[in-house]
Structure 1
Amino acid sequence: MLRLITLSSILLVSMPLYASNMPDKIKNQYIIQFDNTIPKEKRSEITQEIVNKKGHIKHQYHNAIKGMSITLPPQALQALKKRFPEIIHVEENISVALVARKERPNKKPDNNDSTPVRSIEVIPWGVAHVGGGEAAEYGTAWVIDTGIDSRHPDLNVDKSRGANFIKGKNTTEDGNGHGTHVAGTIAAKLDGFDVVGVAAGATVIPVRVLDNNGSGTMDGVIAGVDHVYRNGNYGDCANMSLGAQGFSSALDSAIKATANKGIIFAIAAGNDAANATNYTPASTTHPNVYTISAFDSNNNFAWFSNYGSAIEYSLPGVNILSTKAGGGTVAYNGTSMASPHFCGLAIIGSYYISHYVNNDPDGMPDPIPHL
C-alpha cells in the first residue's frame, strides 16, 4: 500500500525544491491493478459494477499494467475486491506536487507567440562535463513532467505523440517551466543560440502529468508511463524528474513493463538528502532503469541529493543552465536537473565511467558516466 508522499522533484534558481508537507490522500480514490490475463469481458463487468455503485473511472490502463484509477466508497471497494479475484492490487491515490519556489516568479512562464531575443549559444558546464553536445537528431526522449514549451526555438518538440493527463485545458504546453528545463538538458539544439543539450537536437515528447503549479496525482503519473509503453520504441529514453516518499507497486510495475520493451528510464533520486530506496520511482530496480544522484562542478556530491544503493550514476545537478519556458535560458539546481543528463547519454548510448563523485554520504561513490 502506498504510504507517501511527496513529490520531491526539484528545481530552483538558487535552491533545490523540497517537500514541506505530506500531500493528501484523495478521498475515495484508488488505483486498482488487474491480473495481466484478465479477459476483456471481465474488465467490462468490473467497469459496470463500479458505475452501478455510483463510482467513477478516471484513467484506464491497458498497456504497461492492466488496471484503472477509480473513485468509490471504501465499503463498495471491499465488495468489488471480494467479487472479482482478478483485482490483484489496490492502492490509495494520492496528491503529488512540486513545492512552491522560494523565489517564485511574478507570473507564470510567458508562452506566447512573440519571439524572444536569443543569446549566443553556451555549452552548460554539466553538458560539457559529460562530453555532451553531440548531434543526435535520431534520438527520442519522453519527458514525463509539467509539459514542454513547444515554441521554444532551441527544442525539437513532437506534440503529436505527446499526451496530457491533467484536468482542465487539454494541453502539453509547460506553464511551470520544469519540463522545458529538463528537455533542454537532454536535447537542446546545436544551432548557435541559447544552450546545447547532451543529445543535441533529439526529439523531446511532452507527457504532462503535473500542472502549472507542479501538482498532480499518482494515477496520472502511471497514465503517463502507460502512454510511453504504448507509443515508445526500443532505445528511447523516458525521463522522470519526480518522485514520492514511500512505494507505489502500480507505478513500479508500469515502469518495469515499459523498460522490458527496451525503453530506458532516467529517474531523479530526489532532493531530501535521504536514502533513495525509500522513494518511488527512485527505488525501482531494472536493467533499463537508472536512478540518478547529483554533484557540483567539482565532482562533489550535492548536499541535497538522495543517495544509497538505488543509485546507478551521478550527474551534474548544481547551477544547471537550460531552456526556459517562454524563451531563453535559466539555471536550476536539483536531481531533476541531473537525470536528464543521463537521458541524453542513454539516447547516444556509448558512454563509459570517467570518474566517481567525492563525499558520497553512503560511502560508496557513485560513478560518473561520460561520452
Structure 2
Amino acid sequence: MNRLLTISSILIISAPLYAADLPVQLKNQYIIQFDNTIQKEKRSEITQEVINKKGHIKHQYHNAIKGMSITLPPQALAALKKRFPEIIHIEENITVTLVARKERPNKKPDNNDSATPRSEEIIPWGVAHIGGGQVAEYGTAWIIDTGIDSRHPDLNVDKSRGANFIKGKNTTEDGNGHGTHVAGTIAAKLDGFDVVGVAAGATVIPVRVLDNNGSGTMDGVIAGVDHVYRNGNYGDCVNMSLGAQGFSNALDSAIKATANRGIIFAIAAGNDSANAANYTPASTTHPNVYTISAFDINNNFAWFSNYGSAIEYSLPGVNILSTKAGGGTTTFNGTSMASPHFCGLAIIGSYYISHYVNNDPDGMPDPIPRL
C-alpha cells in the first residue's frame, strides 16, 4: 500500500519558506482502484458490500481510473480485497493543504465586491519574459485548485464545465485566491486593464478540490482529474499546482490516462529545494505531462524550487503579478506560479527553447521555453 507523506498546493508568499502542515491520515478512508476491465455488475457488488459493512462511498471514479474512495474499517477492507480480486490497488486517503498561508490576510476574498477599481494594464515580467500576452483565438485551461473568481473582469471563466469536490456550499468560486492567481497568469485578457496572461483571453475552467482555507483530500484531487478526463478535449491544458511527498498510484494513473487523450498537464515541481522525483504528481512521466521548476527575473533558479531529472522546463516563479480573487491584482511566488506560464504556452502551442536557467542545483540547467 503506497503511503503519501506530504501534500500541498505549491505556493509561497514570502521568505522564509514555511513547511506545510503534516497531512492527516483520514481515519478508515481509502482510495481503491479496480482493474480497468471491471464489469458494472461487479462494481455494484463491491459498492453493496461496502454499505453492508457499515462503510461509506464518497467518490466514484469511472473515467481516468476505475475505482472509488471509501470509508471502511481496516478489517472489513482486508476482507473486501480478499473477496474481490478486481481491486488491484488500495491507498490511504489524506488531507491536502496549501503551503505558506501563515501570513494570509484576515479578510477572505469577497467575490461579490464589484467596486474594486481597475488599474491600467501591466504585462507581468514573467509573461513578457517568455513572449506571452498573445491573444488566444481558442484554447481551454482546467485549473485544479481552489476555484476561480468568476466575477473577475479580466478572466474568461466557464463555470458551466467546472466542478466542485469540496463539502459544504457547492460552488466553484475561489475564497482563497490561489486558483484565481493561477488562472490570470495563463489567460488574463488583453483588455487594457489589470494584467495580461500568456494566452490572453483563453477560457479557464474551475475544478475546485481545495476549500477557502486551502484544505482538501487526495480523493478529491483524483475526482478533479477524473472530471477533466470526462469533459476535456484534445489540446486542452490542465494546471496542477499541487504536490505530495511520496507517490500516489491512483493520481499517477489518472493523470496518465487523461494525458493519453491528448490533454496536456502543467505540474508544479514543488517548493522544497529537493528532488522533484520524490514528489507526486511532479514525478509523473508522460509525453503530455510537463513538470515545471521556477526561476527569477535574472534567469536564476529559484532557491525554493524542486529540481532534478523529472523537470521538463523552467518558467518564471518569483514576484509574479496576476489576478486577485475579489478583483484587482496581487503578487505571489512559487512553482505554483511557474507551471501556469507553461500552461499558457501549451495553449498557444508554438514555443521554442530560448535560454537555460542559471545555478540549477542538479547541474543540468532546465530549459526556458518562450513563444
Matched, 1:135 2:135: yes
Using the TM superposition, give the Cα deviation of residue 101 of structure 1 relative to its aligned residue in structure 2, in angstroms.
2.0
TM-score normalised by the chain length of structure 1: 0.98
Give how far 1:17 is off.
5.5
| Structure 1 residue 102: Cα displacement | 3.5
1:11 deviates by: 2.7
CA RMSD of aligned residues (A): 1.1
Q: Which residue of 2 aligns with 1:64?
A: 64
Deviates further, 55-64 or 4-13: 4-13
The answer as to whether partners of 1:17 and 1:334 remain within 8 angstroms in 2 is no
CA contact (8 A) 1:142 1:236 kept: yes
> Could you tell me which residue of structure 2 aligns to residue 167 of structure 1?
167
CA distance in 2, matches of 1:356, 1:275: 18
Displacement after TM superposition at 1:104 (Å): 1.8
Q: 1:96: Cα distance to partner?
A: 1.2
Any gaps of 5 or more consecutive residues in structure 2? none
Q: Within 5 Å, which residues of 2 pair with 1:314-353?
A: 314-353=314-353
The question of whether the paired residues in 2 share the 8 Å contact of 1:61 and 1:67 is answered with yes
1:14 Cα offset (Å): 2.6
Identify the residue that residue 26 of structure 2 maps to in structure 1. 26
Q: Deviation of residue 111 (structure 1)? A: 1.0
What amino acid is the match of 1:206? P
Partner of 2:37: 37
**2:25/2:92 contact within 8 Å kept:** yes
Contact 2:266 2:343 in 1 (8 A): yes
Q: Which residue number in structure 1 is paired with residue 149 of structure 2?
A: 149
Aligned partners of 2:298, 2:100: CA distance in 1, in Å?
29
Distance 1:14 1:116 in 2: 24
What CA deviation, in whole Å up to 9, does each residue of 1:184-214 have, x standing for no partner? 0000000000000000000000000001111
> How far off is 1:12 after superposition?
3.9
Change in 2 beyond 3 A, CA 1:334/1:93: same
Q: Look up the match of 1:121.
A: 121
Alpha-carbon deviation of 1:100?
4.8
Which amino acid in structure 1 is aligned with residue 335 of structure 2? T
1:75 matched residue in structure 2: 75
The 2-side partners of 1:40 and 1:115 are apart by 51
Tell me the equivalent position of 1:297.
297
Cα distance in 2, alignment partners of residues 17 and 235 from structure 1:
35
| 1:195-214 correspondence runs (5 A) | 195-214=195-214
Deviation at 1:116, TM superposition (A): 1.3
Counterpart in 1 of 2:365? 365
Name the counterpart of 1:7.
7
Shift in Å, 1:319: 0.1
User: Per-residue displacement from partner, 1:322-352 (whole Å, max 9, x unpaired)?
Assistant: 0000000000000000000000000011000
Tell me which residue corresponds to 2:285. 285
Q: What is the CA deviation profile of residues 117-159 of structure 1, one whole-angstrom value per residue up to 9, with x for unaligned ones?
A: 1000000000000000000041100000000000000000000
Go from structure 1 to structure 2 and tell me whether the alpha carbon gap of 1:99 and 1:13 turns closer, same or farther (over 3 Å shift).
Answer: closer
Residue 106 of structure 2: aligned partner:
106
Matched residues, number: 371
| Sequence identity (%) | 90
Contact 2:139/2:202, CA 8 A, preserved across alignment: yes
Q: Secondary structure at the match of 1:243?
A: strand
Question: How far does residue 115 in structure 1 lie from its aligned partner after superposition?
Answer: 3.0
Q: 2:12 touches 2:99 (CA, 8 Å); kept in 1?
A: no
Instruction: Check conservation: 1:5, 1:96, Cα contact below 8 A.
Output: no
1:353 Cα deviation from its structure 2 partner: 0.2
Query: 1:106 Cα deviation (Å)?
Result: 1.9
User: Match of 1:96?
Assistant: 96
Q: Residue 293 of structure 2 aligns to a residue in which SS?
A: strand
